[in-house]
Amino acid sequence: MDRMQPINLTASSYTLTKEAHSGTTLTVNRAAGSTITLPASSGDGSIFEIVVGTTITSNSLIVQVANSSDIMSGVAWQAADGGSTSNAWETGASDDTITMDGSTKGGIKGDRIVLKDVSANVWAVSIFGSATGTEATPFSAAV
């Protein structure tokens, strides 16, 4: 079985392609954050897995859609730093961006984002991670 090696992301921005990045793990190792732009969704089943390898300490880790027609649909589950509690955040009808700040919105080492191209203009998203302080949703409509 041919396995794709994980890709180490250390630059400030990336534009993903289905041919080069779908089906592999993308590990973000940049404390100053990165902006990652997805390809346009078409419903072809492409999957992108993004793992935070280095906690974000300045700026943000941003994952955004390619155009104003695409949206994200799904949920973020985050462990809270106050005891054994957690938060769940669902996307809004027009959300198209994930912003993790290394604190309240996630972006802590080990956090994981999975995006699947499920139909034209829709990325299914699941986030598993943790957050600190006054936790807040990582989802927004920004593109």
Element (H, E) at 51: strand 47-52
Cβ atoms 94, 43 nearer than 8 A: no
Entry pTM = 0.95
pLDDT above 90 covers a percentage of the chain that reads: 92
CATH of 7-132, one of 3.10.580, 3.30.70, 2.60.120, 2.60.40: 2.60.120
Residue 20 phi/psi, 5-degree rounding, is -95, -25
Report the mean per-residue pLDDT for the chain. 95
Closest to 128 (Cα-Cα) out of 56, 51, 73: 51
Which DSSP category does 103 fall into? B
What is the SS3 assignment for 19? helix
Write down the domain spans for the chain: 7-132
- Examine the pLDDT at 3 and tell me if it is beyond 70: no
What is the SS3 assignment for 100? strand
- Examine the pLDDT at 1 and tell me if it is beyond 50: no
